[in-house]
Amino acid sequence: MSTENLNNKEAVEKLNDLVNAIDVGMLSTFSKQSDYPYTIPMSRQEVDEDGNIWFLFSAESDTFKNLVEDSRVSLAYAHVGDYKFLSIHATGEVSQDKERIEKYWNKFMDVWFEKGKEDPNIRILKVIPSEAHYWDNKTNKLMTLLKVATAAVTGQDLDIGREGELKL
């Protein structure tokens, strides 16, 4: 596996590509009442031009309660079939930005917010990455499997992918 650290615009583009390809990530928040992170699946609404990741969520959730105590968050994305993985450590900012709620609202949100987009519990979560690390393959899935098999049989050290830091 080769290392390819990316900076600035390239890092944001890589983050955007991975998050949009995978969509649902595992969002972890932290509570003073537990030694372990509280983790839930979340579907992103947007990755903006600065690499911030935006979500809609509820003020009635444990995620919200944890963010009130501690703004640290972690996100993990995995697409095992394509060998794409992303780990992010970040700060979360919570708001009730009406413009963003309007922008991100869709029929799927009606399932989570029965009162619609006027629900007083709707919150916007802006995840601001401070550290990010990715792993992905350089070729398609079939070629990656062939390289892994070849390396296992021959003992050769084949470069099957890349990993690196994303410095946003």
Could you give the domains of the chain? 2-167 (2.30.110.10)
30 — alpha (psi -120 to 50), left (phi > 0) or beta? beta
Whole-number pLDDT of residue 151: 56
Whole-number pLDDT of residue 81: 81
Confidence label for 161 from pLDDT (cuts 50, 70 and 90) = confident
Whole-number pLDDT of residue 141: 56
Q: What is the mean pLDDT of the chain?
A: 89
Q: Based on C-alpha coordinates, what's the Rg of the chain?
A: 18
In this structure, the number of other CB atoms found within 10 A of the CB of residue 23 comes to 12
Would you call 90 exposed, middle or buried from its count of C-beta atoms within 10 A (0-12, 13-18, 19+)?
buried
- The pTM (predicted TM-score) of the whole model is 0.86
Question: Does residue 148 have a pLDDT over 60?
Answer: no
Q: Express each pLDDT in 111-125 by its tens digit.
A: 899 899 999 999 999
CA–CA separation, 68 and 64 (whole Å)? 6
CA–CA separation, 7 and 49 (whole Å)? 14
Least confident piece of the model among 3-7, 59-63, 151-155: 151-155
